[in-house]
Structure formats: structure tokens, C-alpha cells
């Protein structure tokens, strides 16, 4: 197999040494590194509201620099972040730039051959949050496939991973779904550029095709370095607290416990009506356009945990998601058989798909301790960590 990514990987490891006391520079901010390559080409951009240079969208900046942008491809939530979680997004014309926006979250998940024929190169610039069930890594793989089939190059403008640690069970590929397409743990510990290298290197594109990549790496970045996102990556990850709690709290989407959808503090609170009497803190989910129109437990008072002031240093220092909350809330829930029962609401997801294994639900229901649950994630987790080393661009 021809590993097209390897020479550039080696170059990055030699040239780009991290400077921990200096501000992180994203790939997009290093315009001088890629602008000459875009000039004279027909460019497609796979971007959203996180694709910024300074305070402006990269599309606006590059168009002002006479880059010939032919198409904008928008992922889940749309190009300007105006679609709710899971909503299909239609094609449209961007009113500011006049460029056609092609939705990759609706009728199709990747650029068509006809669309790829309109461009010479595809720029990928989206802020990821480092989780298996966050859909942008799926979009990345699908777009890489379109590039590989069309013989076009992808330029990735790399961005930091705010949840930059490795933890969780490895996805059982028998449970592959839209929220889990790769045999990786819940938090994969890679930037989007590094993950693209892994997609190529592990043969995860259909028919083990290879996508030609050019990665504009971060400057002054090391793995595990604290990074506050300047723009919310999606409507329900609207604070830094929610972003860092997301890997742990998203698992509750497979339970009867609300994660705060239908409030302005999603993924920082947990609760359910049946937990009244167990907890003093409460909240009431409401329909909120653009965030959650039909949330779980709509218009019902939910009781549970307020994590808005929870100290988040433990995630980075320990490199672990928190599964104690799942263990504790299951113990507190009065009707155990309903905790994971999806027949109660269309807003409940599948816990097996979210965890990536059927064992997790069984372990919680059996009252297993955290140490025993974590032990079951091996040896898969250690094997992944070793495999991951091949694709790292940063120390």
C-alpha cells in the first residue's frame, strides 16, 4: 500500500517543534503556508462557523485574498451553525459570499463526482472536539473518500483537540453507526489532521483507497495542552464547560436522564423527573429553536446534578472520562428497568452505540465498580494507544 501521508508526517515532526509558552496558531491562521498553493486553483471548502481566521470566517478571508472558491460544503448544523442536532440541512447560496453551499448532512454525506469535478482541491477546516460520537470525523472520512475517487488533494488546516486524551471502550464494529464508524475509544486523543493520517494509514476509506493529504499543522501545540475554543462547535456545545464534559455526558443520551437539552446549559447538567427526592437541583427542559425543539422530558421538572462549576482539571490530568455519574444515577433511579428503555421516548439514543459495546449497559445494570468496567476496556485500549503513535504530528 502506498502511504501518501508518510513524507509529510516526517516533515512535520522535524520542522514543527512545539513552544508551550507561546500562543497556539491554528493551521488556518498560517495563511502564508497555504495561500500560494490555492492561488490559481478552483477551491472547495468544507467548513462551518468554527472555520475562522482571527474573528472572520476563513471563507470570507480567503475570498478577499482572491482565492477562487467554487463550492462550500457544510456538515451537521450547517455552514453558519443554524441547524439543530440531527436536522437535515438543505443546499443553499451563502448570502454574504454568493457561493453555493452544498449540505453534507441530509440527502448525502459526501461530495459527488460532479461536485468534485468543479474543484481542483478541497480545504477541510472544522473544529472537532475529539470524540468518537461527534460526527465531524465521519464527515472527514467521507470527504477523503470523494477526494481519493476523484484524484483530488485535500488540504487540512489543523486545529487543537480540546479533549486531548485517550479513554473509553474500543467500538465493536458490529455496532457501527452514524455515531461510531471507527474502531477507536470514546476520546481518541488526536487532532483532525492526525486523525486523517490514521484514516489513510489504517485503510478506513472504502476499498482501502488513499487520499492525498497536505496538512498545515498547528504551531506551539503539544498534546494535552489546555485550549479554549473561540467559537462554539455546535448549538448544544455552547460553553467550554459543556465541551469538556461532553465525552462523559453524551453517554446519557442512551438513558432516560436528560443532559440539559432544552435549556441554555446543555451538557453541563443531568436530571430526570423520577429522581425527585434524591437531588435538590432541578431544571425544566423547554423547546428551544435551533438547539432542541423536542427535548427529552419537555416541560417536566428534572432533578439531578449541576456540573456547571465542576472542576475540569481531572479530565486532562487523569486522561479519563467520568463514568461515576452513570453508575451513581443508575443506582439512584427508582425504576431500574426504565433507565435504558428507549421505548419511552424518541429522544433517547442507543446506549450500546454510544458506548461502542453491549457490555457497558450490562455492567452498569449489574452494579459493577468503575475499576472492573475500565479493566474490560483492555487490551483494546492499550493496542489503540500504540497504533495511534504512528500518526502523531505533535509531542
Helical spans, DSSP H, in 217-284 = 240-249
Q: Label residue 20 by pLDDT band (50, 70, 90).
A: low
3-class DSSP assignment, residue 313: helix
- What's the pLDDT score for residue 196? 98
**pLDDT tens column, 105-137:** 878 999 999 999 999 999 999 999 999 999 999
In whole angstroms, give the CA distance from residue 281 to residue 268: 12
What separation, in Å, do the N-terminal and C-terminal C-alpha atoms of the chain show?
A: 27
In whole angstroms, give the CA distance from residue 315 to residue 329: 20
**pLDDT tens column, 184-226:** 999 999 999 999 999 999 999 999 999 999 999 999 999 999 9
The pairing of beta strand 42-47 with beta strand 68-74: parallel
Q: Label residue 81 by pLDDT band (50, 70, 90).
A: low
The string of DSSP codes covering 75-142 is -TTTTTT-S-TT-----EE-TTT-PEEEESSSS-SS--HHHHTT-SEEEEE----SBTTSTHHHHHHH
Map grid coordinates 440527502 to a residue.
107
C-alpha 155 chain-centroid distance? 19
The string of DSSP codes covering 6-58 is HHHHHHHHHH----TTS--B-TTT-HHHHHHHHTTSEEEEEE-TT-EETTEEH
Amino acid at each position: 500500500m502506498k502511504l501518501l501521508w508518510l513524507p509529510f508526517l516526517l516533515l512535520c515532526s522535524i520542522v514543527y517543534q512545539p513552544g508551550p509558552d507561546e500562543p497556539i496558531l491554528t493551521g488556518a491562521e498560517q495563511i502564508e503556508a497555504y495561500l500560494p498553493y490555492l492561488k490559481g486553483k478552483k477551491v472547495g471548502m468544507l467548513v462551518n462557523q468554527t472555520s475562522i481566521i482571527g474573528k472572520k470566517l476563513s471563507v470570507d478571508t480567503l475570498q478577499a485574498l482572491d482565492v477562487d472558491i467554487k463550492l462550500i460544503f457544510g456538515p451537521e448544523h450547517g455552514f453558519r451553525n443554524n441547524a439543530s442536532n440531527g436536522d437535515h440541512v438543505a443546499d443553499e447560496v451563502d448570502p454574504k459570499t454568493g457561493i453555493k453551499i452544498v449540505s453534507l448532512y441530509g440527502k448525502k454525506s459526501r461530495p459527488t463526482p460532479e461536485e468534485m469535478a468543479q474543484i481542483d482541491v478541497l480545504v477541510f477546516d472544522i473544529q472537532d472536539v475529539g470524540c468518537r460520537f461527534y460526527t465531524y470525523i465521519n464527515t472527514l472520512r467521507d470527504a477523503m473518500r470523494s477526494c481519493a475517487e476523484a484524484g483530488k488533494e485535500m488540504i487540512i488546516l489543523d486545529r487543537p483537540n480540546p479533549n486531548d486524551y485517550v479513554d473509553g471502550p474500543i467500538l465493536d464494529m458490529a455496532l457501527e453507526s452514524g455515531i461510531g464508524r471507527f474502531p477507536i475509544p470514546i476520546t481518541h486523543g488526536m487532532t483532525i489532521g492526525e486523525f486523517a493520517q490514521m484514516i489513510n494509514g489504517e485503510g478506513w476509506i472504502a476499498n482501502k483507497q488513499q487520499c492525498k493529504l497536505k496538512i498545515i499543522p498547528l504551531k506551539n501545540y503539544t498534546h494535552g495542552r489546555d485550549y479554549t475554543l473561540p467559537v462554539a462547535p455546535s448549538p448544544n456545545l455552547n460553553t467550554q464547560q459543556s465541551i469538556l464534559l461532553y465525552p462523559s455526558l453524551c453517554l446519557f443520551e442512551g438513558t432516560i436522564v436528560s443532559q440539559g437539552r432544552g435549556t441554555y446549559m446543555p451538557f453541563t447538567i443531568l436530571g430526570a423527573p423520577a429522581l425527585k427526592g434524591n437531588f435538590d437541583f432541578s431544571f425544566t427542559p423547554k423547546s428551544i429553536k435551533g438547539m432542541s425543539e423536542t427535548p427529552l422530558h419537555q416541560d417536566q421538572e428534572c432533578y439531578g446534578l449541576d456540573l456547571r462549576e465542576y472542576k475540569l482539571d481531572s479530565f486532562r490530568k487523569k486522561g479519563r472520562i467520568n463514568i461515576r455519574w452513570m453508575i451513581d444515577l443508575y443506582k439512584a433511579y427508582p425504576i431500574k428497568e426504565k433507565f435504558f428503555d428507549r421505548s419511552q421516548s424518541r429522544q433517547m439514543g442507543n446506549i450500546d452505540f454510544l458506548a461502542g459495546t453491549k457490555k457497558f449497559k450490562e455492567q452498569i445494570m449489574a452494579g459493577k465498580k468503575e475499576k472492573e468496567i475500565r479493566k474490560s476496556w483492555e487490551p483494546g485500549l492499550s493496542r489503540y494507544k500504540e497504533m495511534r503513535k504512528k500518526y502523531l504530528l505533535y509531542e
